């Protein structure tokens, strides 16, 4: 068996892989100083008897983001820092000298972000930065929702499904149907900027909550036009929207069955069909953020039990997805 070489020049063998390039780009676009300054005041301070020194906020926050990008649990994140050199480099750990945070330390930061509602505050901070850079216009909003599946099995310690994934008082958990597929889990209702496709608001509910009931919570109040699919039919007649957003113009898609009945040989029907196409192209921008969550970050199933924990993770994922979508523009130098 050939002995591994430890001689000089090993660093010349390092290849710029897609994973390393991803981490390099995200390292440049994440506003680390601002996020660390937001979290630092909430970090626990050492007690009167001293104890083991805590890890820097920068190290723990980078590990937390690695978990979101690569779908890592707390134990898997700890092991990945040992197994993947690119991860340790990104976090800023020298495995020959530094100790790696254990899974309990990683978990404590996640709980801190959830208890202090710091995930939402980080989301708002990043959106404020993107707005200042002119990347979020805020004149129009696309509202939409996506289903995130949860384990439906009862083969666990409590012998039950997650009770928070159900709305109502029924003893049997309810599921929701999309197309021909039934889903048990939660639903992320997201409001995105109509011009850029960046998410500016999110509400997480059980999967069987109707999209139209959460529309009012997805508006920031500055938009003039809101675009939605056919699931939001009748939204403009809801009391909460008439009370808080009376001047908003709603552009809701025609039901698919009704659109199929249009005769495009007739001038009026042809205009209506073209208008539906325009609305669909605008709504498509709101789908990009879901594509990043599910295809880039591989977030297809909830990781935790309980809506609050999953809502905090989804909010963090949306914040990182916003940065990913505009990473190339953020890496460009600011023009004076």
Listed by start position, the domains of the chain span: 16-45+53-116, 138-307
pLDDT in tens, 172-196: 445 665 665 656 788 999 999 999 9
Residue with tokens 């007739």: 266
pLDDT at 15: 77
94 vs 85: CA distance, rounded Å: 10
- Banded pLDDT at 78 (limits 50, 70, 90): very high
Place of tokens 């958990």: 173
With bands split at pLDDT 50, 70 and 90, how would you rate the model's confidence at 334?
Answer: low
pLDDT per position as a tens digit, 187-225: 999 999 999 999 999 999 988 899 999 999 999 989 999
Share of residues in the chain with pLDDT > 70 (%): 83
Burial of residue 73, with CB atoms counted within 10 A of its CB: 0-12 exposed, 13-18 middle, 19 or more buried: middle
Q: Is 207 exposed, middle or buried, given 0-12, 13-18 or 19+ CB atoms closer than 10 A?
A: buried
Alpha-carbon gap, residue 32 to 13, rounded angstroms: 30
Helix/strand/coil (H, E, C) string of the chain? Answer: CCCCCCCCCHHHHCCCCHHHHHHHHHHHHCCHHHHHHHHHHHCCCCECCECCCCCCHHHHHHHHHHHHHHCCCHHHHHHHHHHCHHHHHHHCCCCCCCCCCCHHHHHHHHHHHHHCCHHHHHHHHHHHHHHHCCCCCCCEEEEEEEEEECCCCCCCCCCCCCHHHCCCCCCCCCCEEECCEEECEEEEEEEEECCCCCEEEEEEEECCCCHHHHHHHHCCCCCCEEEECHHHCCHHHCHHHHHHCCCCEEEECCCHHHHHCCCCCCHHHHHHHHHHHHHHHHHHHHHHHHHHHHHHCCCCECCCCCHHHHHHHHHHHHHHHHHHHCHHHHCCCCCC
What integer best gives the mean pLDDT of the chain?
87
Average pLDDT over residues 287-294: 95
Burial (CB count <10 Å: 0-12, 13-18, 19+), residue 292: buried
pLDDT tens digits, 95-132 = 888 899 999 999 999 999 999 999 999 999 999 999 99
Predicted local distance difference test score (pLDDT) of residue 53: 63
Rounded to two decimals, what is the model's pTM?
0.87
What pLDDT digit, counting tens, does each position of 12-37 carry? Answer: 566 788 999 999 999 999 999 999 99
């Amino acid at each position: 068996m050939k002995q591994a070489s430890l001689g000089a020049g090993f660093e010349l063998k390092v290849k710029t892989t897609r994973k390393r390039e991803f981490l390099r780009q995200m390292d440049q676009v994440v506003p680390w100083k601002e996020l660390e300054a937001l979290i630092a005041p909430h970090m626990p301070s050492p007690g009167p008897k001293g104890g083991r020194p805590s890890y820097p906020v920068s190290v723990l926050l980078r590990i937390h983001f690695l978990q979101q990008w690569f779908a890592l649990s707390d134990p898997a994140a700890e092991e990945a820092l040992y197994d993947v050199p690119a991860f340790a480099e990104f976090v800023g750990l020298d495995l020959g000298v530094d100790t790696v945070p254990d899974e309990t330390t990683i978990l404590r930061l996640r709980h801190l972000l959830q208890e202090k509602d710091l995930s939402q505050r980080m989301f708002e901070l990043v959106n404020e930065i993107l707005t200042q850079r002119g990347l979020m216009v805020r004149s129009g909003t696309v509202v939409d929702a996506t289903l995130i599946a949860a384990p439906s099995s009862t083969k666990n310690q409590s012998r039950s499904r997650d009770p928070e994934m159900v709305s109502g008082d029924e003893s049997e958990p309810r599921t929701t149907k999309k197309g021909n597929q039934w889903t048990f889990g939660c639903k992320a209702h997201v409001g995105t900027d109509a011009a850029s496709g960046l998410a500016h608001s999110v509400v997480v509910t059980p999967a069987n909550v109707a999209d139209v009931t959460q529309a009012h919570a997805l508006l920031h109040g500055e938009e003039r036009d809101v675009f939605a699919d056919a699931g939001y039919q009748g939204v403009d007649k809801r009391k909460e929207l008439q009370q808080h957003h009376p001047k908003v113009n709603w552009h809701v898609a025609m039901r698919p069955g009704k659109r199929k009945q249009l005769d495009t040989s007739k001038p009026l029907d042809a205009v209506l069909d073209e208008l539906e196409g325009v609305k669909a192209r605008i709504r498509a921008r709101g789908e990009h953020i879901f594509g990043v969550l599910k295809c880039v970050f591989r977030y297809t199933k909830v990781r935790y039990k309980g809506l609050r924990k999953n809502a905090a993770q989804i909010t963090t994922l949306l914040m990182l997805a916003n940065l990913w979508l505009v990473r190339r523009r953020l890496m460009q130098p600011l023009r004076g």
